[in-house]
Amino acid sequence: MAEARLARDDLALVDRLWRDWSPTYTPAPETLANIKAGLRERLGPALAYYRALTSPAVQREARAASGVVRVPAIHLHGELDGCIGIECTDGAEAHYARGYALHRVADAGHFLVHERPDEVSARLLAFFGPGADADAPRR
């Protein structure tokens, strides 16, 4: 049933999700055409990820695996993300023993690498690049 809903009207749900998840970003028509072309023959596998998120077994494993992350981490999150709300970042730093760098990206949604490629690249290069001190705590 989900595959049929996703396929309906030339994958119109994909267009709606892009608008809802990144409301200030309009992808180029060829970008959406390429995404849809990639999905058309793989609707089941594409939906499997979302089905697994609600699986009781996956949720049990996630709870068992949750704990403190022991490596420095960076988190880039669009403040207008309509898929995973920015409020999900509240308190995340408590789960990171060696530093957690949260960068809330204003006027951006869920698809940051498309919306702000230069900012994403700069932040990642600064975090992982030469001269980055992997042992330094990060905020």
Say yes or no to pLDDT of 137 above 70: no
Q: Are 22 and 80 in contact (CB under 8 A)?
A: yes
What pTM was estimated for this model as a whole? 0.80
The helix (run of H) or strand (run of E) holding residue 104 is strand 100-105
Could you tell me which residue, 3 or 55, shows the higher pLDDT? 3
Q: Enumerate the domain spans of the chain.
A: 2-63, 68-128
